[in-house]
Amino acid sequence: MARGGPEGVSPEEIFPFPVGQTPPDDRTYFEILAWFVFGAGLNWRIMRAKWPNFQRAFRGFDIARVARFNDGDVDRLLADTGIVRNGKKITGTVANARELAEIARESGDVTTWLRSFGGDGEALIKAVKKRFHHMGDVTSRMFLTVVGAIEYQTWKPTERQRRGVR
């Protein structure tokens, strides 16, 4: 069953990164993953408004730097009013950086790891849910769709979009 996004809003308006394209590097995968961790349960407009603050707070989503975050860094993030201050999502994002670093050691990079599933969307969804913190069924599907790994209809096009009118 197709899930509808916000009525009349295109994915390009919601996300601050290209949708449906393989990211150019693991840093971009990490940024997109963090978007879904923090965005779960929040209005996309809040996320868009706060996203530059997330980029700053998480050091440009540099995987190696975030993987080294310690309790002091978590405390700093919990005090940062520019981001969503959810302790479980913050510590989950740090853990996800460590997991992405491990995937790079195992597979070379995230793209190679995703392609190792041979296009098996359900296996990919299970793997994302298992390896990464705060990724459920829907967020995993949407993450994999945004990075171009699977096709999952997440937005119902408006009549204008169906006609190709911007």
Residues 43-102 pLDDT 10s: 999 999 999 999 999 999 999 999 999 999 999 999 999 999 999 999 999 999 999 999
Q: What is the pLDDT of residue 153?
A: 64
Q: Is 154 a residue whose pLDDT tops 80?
A: no
Q: 166: which 2 tokens? A: 């911007």
Q: What is the pLDDT of residue 6?
A: 64
Nearest to 146 by CA among 18, 2, 39, 47: 18
Q: Say which range, 15-19, 39-43, 60-64, 156-160, has the weakest mean pLDDT.
A: 156-160
Distance of alpha carbon 67 from alpha carbon 101, whole angstroms:
8
At a CB cut-off of 8 Å and minimum separation 6, what does 1 contact? Answer: none
At a CB cut-off of 8 Å and minimum separation 6, what does 75 contact? Answer: none
33-56 b/e (C-beta count within 10 Å ≥ 16 → b): bbbbbbbbeeebeebeebbeebee
With a threshold of 0.85, does the pTM exceed it? yes
Which fold does the domain 11-163 belong to in CATH?
A: Endonuclease III; domain 1 (1.10.340)
Q: Is 106 a residue whose pLDDT tops 90?
A: yes
